[in-house]
Chain A
Amino acid sequence: MMMETDRKDGRTPNQPRMLSCSRNILHRAHGSASWSRGETKVLAAVYGPKAGTKKNEDPEKACIEVIWKPKTGQIGKAEKECEMIMKKTIQSICLLTVNPNTTTSVVVQVVNDDGALLPCAINAACAALVDAGIPMKHLAVAICCCVAEEGSVVLDPTKLEEQQMRGFAYLVFPNSALSALPKGSSLVDGEPLEHGIITSVTHGVMSVDEYLRCVGRGRAACAKLSDVLRRSLQKSE
């Protein structure tokens, strides 16, 4: 069955763009990282833990605050939504009880948006959190999968492809090789820990099967990405 989609930059449907990640680029921040996928580039900086939590937050846990700075324009609803999604994603990977009554700020600056922006930002934030030394259960790896008109799944679209495709999904999976969990609990419901979805945001309409195929493809791509991330974090510095 012909599943090949001709992509403008010549990539195969399963091929993500060139990845480049660097850490400790901002010297004033406690942790920083930049993550770029092809033309999409995001810079993340982590400040913290600082004393005190914000109002309405639980003082028995650490509080995470995300500030999303768009490339141009004022902060609007889309930015607030991205902040909320990132905050909840980071909260689920950090060990919040280690430093109670503190606030850790993650500032995300969009340098260039060429598709798959939120996954790029989540990856950058994770790398920045590692750089800052914030205690985490495991890392998170994010990917964008989109569904083409005829139903095939394409990984890591550019902005143009995102707009042309029928629908796309941003998926975040755990990367548990650096996990703090004991070995015995690595299987949940017969599926290893890496198979659970931490975050999923979809746009556009697709069938349930197409979504599950996106999840499967995304998982496989994230496993490869986790390897790259692990090696890059271990060898630097």
Chain B
Amino acid sequence: MGLLDSSGDLSAEMEVDAFRRLFPLRYYERHLAESIRPDGRPLGRARDTTVALGAVSSADGSALAKIGSTTMLAAIKMEVMTPSAESPDEGCIAIEFHMPPICSPIVRPGRPAEAAVVVSKQLSDTILSSGMIDLKELALVSGKAAWMAYLDIYCLDADGALFDAALLSAVAAFSHCKHLSPFLIVPTSYTLLLSLIHVSARYSLAVQIPVVSVNDKGKIVAFTEEGDGRKLEKEAVNKEKIKLTLGSIPFSLTCALHKKYILADPTSEEESIMETLVTVVMDSSDRLVSFYKPGGPALAYTSLVTDCVALTRHRMKELEKILDEAFSGMEVD
């Protein structure tokens, strides 16, 4: 049996993998003492991150984000609905985070994982409170129609830092947006038919708000360009509001705390050993959107708070560059 006092001798005889499984905390502490982690990263460095836009062609907006092995697929679908009475000039965003059983051995079909519910709520809070999307932009006809954006994020591989990857994929899916050529239509006093404008193949867009207009009964119908000349008489209600402009974009970094070490972007193994996690979300105008520390044995002192914020700022610059590269890659297509 591995006893505490003979662990030094035991570790010399044991294989590395066995030691890692039997004494995970000591295995990690040996590495942390040298300021390195088992995968070779220094303590403050996040894993390699990639973002691919337009992964789901049938969605109005989509993105695939990978941080190390953690993979998230985000897709946005836009639908028209009647706005609520309290906010007749605002659209709505519904955010769902799903963890299908494919992502992790601890998730089984049927019951949603506890982590999924919490990350889902955290995501909605962050995206709505960061002011990235101005809900008034999603309005069509005041009091009668507004856009509802359904954002679904699927976790395809859960290897730690789920919230970071999910937020990155959501941001990438939302912010990928282009102008649709506006339609000049002479209005008639008559029933308007609407049909959805399909994005022309020239643009491989992620989020474009379809052009629609209102018919006599107050129903919103989409708009097609093909068809007879009669269609040209309809007025598109939202032809000027097609591009989804974004406010300041939030970026996040999850850190694991253990005694006096701060490990940026933990893997799932690190998360399970070091039970204290801190998620800091900051936006591009250097404001703190969220400082989320749900309990945990390690306490956060002021120095730790400032260190985490500094690591997040650094990470924000990396992520901004990665997103810019992904967009310029799309432009070329």
Contact = CB atoms under 8 A, between A and B. Distances in A.
Nearest to A188: B301
A199 B294 contact: yes
Contact of A201 (B276, B286, B294): B294
Interface residues of A, number: 39
A213 B260 CA distance: 23
Contact of B291 (A56, A77, A191, A211): A211
The winner among B120, B286, B291, B297 for most chain A CB atoms within 10 A is B291
Interface string B294-312: 1111011111011001000
B288 A90 contact: no
B288 A211 contact: yes
Contacts of A208: 286-288, 306, 309
Contacts of B309: 208
A174 interface: yes
A189 B303 contact: yes
Interface stretch (A37-45, A80-88, A102-110): A80-88
Contacts of A56: 106
Interface residues of B, number: 36
A210 B303 CA distance: 15
A193 B288 contact: no
A206 B121 CA distance: 20
Nearest to A204: B129
Contact of B288 (A91, A189, A202): A202
Interface string A206-218: 1110111001000
Contacts of B90: none
Contact of B294 (A89, A196, A206, A211): A89
A196 B296 contact: no
B252 interface: no
Interface string B276-297: 1000000100111111111111
B260 A189 contact: yes
Interface string B110-124: 000010011011101
A131 B120 CA distance: 35
A198 B292 CA distance: 11
Contacts of A196: 299-301
Contact of A92 (B117, B286, B296): B296
A54 to B, nearest CB: 11
A17 interface: no
B118 A202 contact: no
Contacts of B306: 208, 212
B84 to A, nearest CB: 16
A25 interface: no
A170 B118 CA distance: 17
A202 B295 contact: no
A159 interface: no
A174 B118 CA distance: 24
Contact of A197 (B118, B120, B297, B300): B300
Contacts of A211: 288, 291, 305
Interface of B: 106, 114, 117-118, 120-122, 124-125, 129-131, 260, 275-276, 283, 286-297, 299-303, 305-306, 309
23 contacts: A56-B106, A77-B117, A77-B124, A80-B117, A81-B121, A84-B294, A90-B295, A92-B297, A169-B291, A189-B301, A195-B301, A195-B302, A197-B300, A197-B305, A199-B295, A200-B292, A202-B288, A203-B290, A205-B130, A206-B288, A207-B287, A210-B288, A211-B288
